[in-house]
A = this chain, B = another copy of it.
Amino acid sequence: MTRVLVIDDEPQIVRALVINLKARHYEVDAAHDGATALELAAGRHPDVIVLDLGLPDMDGVDVIKGLRGWTRVPILVLSARHSSDEKVEALDAGADDYVTKPFGMDELLARLRAAVRRAEPVPGGTDDVIVETPGFTVDLAAKKVVRGGKDVRLTPTEWHLLEVLVRNTGRLVSQKQLLQEVWGPSYGTETNYLRVYMAQLRRKLEADPAHPRHFITEPGMGYRFER
């Protein structure tokens, strides 16, 4: 299911958006200010963001920049200002689209669909959706892991960590990068999280968790997933 993050300080607009989105089977989170928005974006990993530029606590463009520092998630800007400069500034800061208020709900939804659509990975592209190892199989599209013919239950965080590692199969991923991709941009140093969750992944997926063959530790640097 597609997850949308709506950021606006006007309750009636948020309500209208939430109702319309939920009716079309989107999963919706909402924030009323920039700080909450950045937090939610990091924690919930939305597939698309609808952002009102006029927020109470910070400049909308700064919100865009804050997001673009670590994610390429589509950002659809909503604004009451029609001036060309505003649009150019927001778009160049990293926004994907710019809609002026008052807006037609149909149009907004169509633009949302367009933004989500083009962010989708190429179907049948070069990147493998299924990664096999001698011990288990990871299906990135179906978000499923099979080991010995049986599905392995992973928690959201475990899956997220696995996903980042598998997408970088063979490459070393630094601890900082893992933390920021999974827990959000402000978590650069909490390496104990990594240790706990790497242990859980190994316990669930490695034949011998004490001597991992696929989830390899590079001391002082990071971790590496090998098939």
Contacts and interface: CB of A to CB of B under 8 A. Distances in A.
12 contacts: A74-B118, A84-B104, A87-B106, A87-B110, A88-B106, A96-B114, A142-B224, A143-B221, A144-B170, A144-B171, A144-B224, A153-B218
B84 A111 contact: no
A91 B111 contact: yes
A155 interface: yes
Interface string A144-175: 10000000010110010000000000111000
Contact of A142 (B87, B97, B119, B170): B170
A98 B99 CA distance: 10
A92 interface: yes
Nearest to A109: B88
Nearest to A220: B156
Interface string A89-109: 001101111100000101101
A127 to B, nearest CB: 8
Given A88-B110, A91-B111, A142-B172, 18 more contacts: A84-B106, A88-B106, A88-B107, A91-B107, A91-B114, A92-B110, A92-B113, A96-B114, A96-B118, A97-B114, A141-B171, A143-B218, A143-B221, A144-B170, A144-B172, A155-B219, A156-B219, A156-B221
Interface in A34-93: 72, 74, 84-85, 87-88, 91-92
A122 interface: yes
- For the side of the interface on A, what is the size category? 35 or more
A204 to B, nearest CB: 14
Nearest to A115: B96
Interface string A171-186: 1100000000000000
A23 to B, nearest CB: 16
